[in-house]
Amino acid sequence: MAGRRRVPGTRVVVALCLLLAGLVGCGGRPGADGTRAEVQHLLDRRADALLHHDRTAYLRTGASDWSAHLREVPLADWSYRVTGLRGDGDEAVAEAELRYRVEGYDRAPVTAGRTLALGRDADGDWYVKTDRPAEGSAAQLWDQGRVEAVRGDHSLVLGVGRSEEDLRGFARLADHAVPAVSRAWDGDWSGHVVVLVPESLTGMAALLGSPESSYRGIAAVTTGETGGPAKAPADRIIVNPDAYGVLGDLGRQVVLTHETTHVATRAHTTRATPLWLSEGYADWIGYLGGARTPSQAAPELARAVREGRVPAALPADADFGFTGEAGRLAQAYESGWMACRMIADRWGEDRLAAFYRVVGAHDGRAGAVADALEDVLGTSTRRFTEDWQAYLRAEFG
Q: Per the domain annotation, does 203 fall within a domain?
A: yes
Mean of pLDDT over the chain: 88
Same domain for 253 and 164: yes
What radius of gyration do the chain's Cα atoms show? 28
C-alpha to C-alpha distance for 304 and 335, rounded to whole angstroms = 11
C-alpha to C-alpha distance for 257 and 312, rounded to whole angstroms = 29
Same domain for 354 and 290: yes
pLDDT tens for residues 69-122? 999 999 999 999 999 999 878 999 999 999 999 999 888 888 999 999 999 999
Same domain for 357 and 296: yes
Contact of 332 with 315, CB cutoff 8 Å: yes
Same domain for 216 and 98: no
The CA-atom distances, in angstroms, between 269 and each of 17, 94, 261, 266 are 59, 36, 11, 5
Percent of all residues in the chain with a pLDDT value above 90, rounded to a whole number:
75
CATH code for the domain in which residue 70 is found: 3.10.450.50
Other beta carbons less than 10 A from residue 85's beta carbon: 19
Please state which of the ranges 1-5, 149-153, 248-252, 374-378 shows the lowest mean pLDDT.
Answer: 1-5
The pTM assigned to this predicted structure is: 0.86
Higher pLDDT, 214 or 281: 281
Q: Per the domain annotation, does 7 fall within a domain?
A: no
Amino acid 333: pLDDT: 96
Please state which of the ranges 248-257, 300-309, 313-322 shows the lowest mean pLDDT.
Answer: 313-322
Amino acid 321: pLDDT: 80
Percent of all residues in the chain with a pLDDT value above 70, rounded to a whole number:
88
**Residue that terminates a domain, selected from 137, 168, 190:** 137
Q: Per the domain annotation, does 4 fall within a domain?
A: no
Contact of 277 with 340, CB cutoff 8 Å: yes
Same domain for 290 and 223: no
Q: Per the domain annotation, does 349 fall within a domain?
A: yes
Strand boundaries in 264-373, DSSP class E: none
Q: Per the domain annotation, does 245 fall within a domain?
A: yes
Amino acid 30: pLDDT: 55
51 closest CA partner among 62, 40, 43, 41? 43
Domain tally, the chain? 3
Q: Per the domain annotation, does 161 fall within a domain?
A: yes
Range of the domain at 377: 270-397
Same domain for 334 and 260: no
Q: Per the domain annotation, does 1 fall within a domain?
A: no
DSSP character at residue 71: T
C-alpha to C-alpha distance for 394 and 397, rounded to whole angstroms = 6
**Residue that terminates a domain, selected from 267, 292, 313:** 267
**Residue that terminates a domain, selected from 92, 115, 137:** 137
Same domain for 346 and 369: yes
Classified as helix, coil or strand, 123 is: coil
C-alpha to C-alpha distance for 222 and 259, rounded to whole angstroms = 6
C-alpha to C-alpha distance for 129 and 62, rounded to whole angstroms = 6
